[in-house]
Amino acid sequence: MHSVDTGAATDLQGLLIPQRQMPLLLPSSAVIEILGYREVSESAADASWILGSFSWRNLVLPLVSMERVLGVEREGKRGRKRIIVVHVFSDKLKTPFMGIEATGMPRLVSLNEETLEVLDGEPWPDDWPISDRVKVQDLEALIPDLDRLGALLQKVTP
């Protein structure tokens, strides 16, 4: 007979997505694929935070710079950048996927009450696609609001 410990904390898996200023924290379930950086086509969208579009699994997806969305200038060098393909739960977009630019390889983290702390701070402007600022394993990170990001994307893409 086996005993079951029902008091154990449940860990969730997240990915820390490197950015120049502060990493993003995404649930691993939202990340579909991590790609090496590739050339992007020019975008018809009138927003500087849309870096262009790229082909992925017979789809053309927009590539978003979260740093530009937040007002941080983008560095010109490519380095070891990655494209993080994420699932956006929006029925208004042409495809429910987009790419988010990362400055390096994402890192898998276990999230639970001991490893994740929501930090107090000023509320984000209503139109910013940020949900919270958190501390995860002694590192500050931003949690993007993918629904809001999808809504912003829908407003500026043809």
The domain spanning residue 136 has which CATH number?
A: 2.40.50.180
C-alpha to C-alpha distance for 149 and 153, rounded to whole angstroms: 6
Task: Domain of residue 125: give its range.
Answer: 13-156
129 occurs within a structural domain? yes
Asked if residues 114 and 31 have their Cβ atoms less than 8 Å apart, the reply is: no
3 occurs within a structural domain? no
Mean pLDDT of 44-51: 84
Asked if residues 24 and 131 have their Cβ atoms less than 8 Å apart, the reply is: no
- Alpha-carbon distances of 154 from 7, 10, 91, 150, rounded to whole Å: 43, 35, 10, 6
Coil, strand, or helix at residue 30? helix
pTM: 0.85
142 occurs within a structural domain? yes
Q: What is the count of structural domains for the chain?
A: 1
121 occurs within a structural domain? yes
5 occurs within a structural domain? no
Tens-place pLDDT, residues 124-139: 777 788 989 999 988 9
C-alpha to C-alpha distance for 53 and 56, rounded to whole angstroms: 10
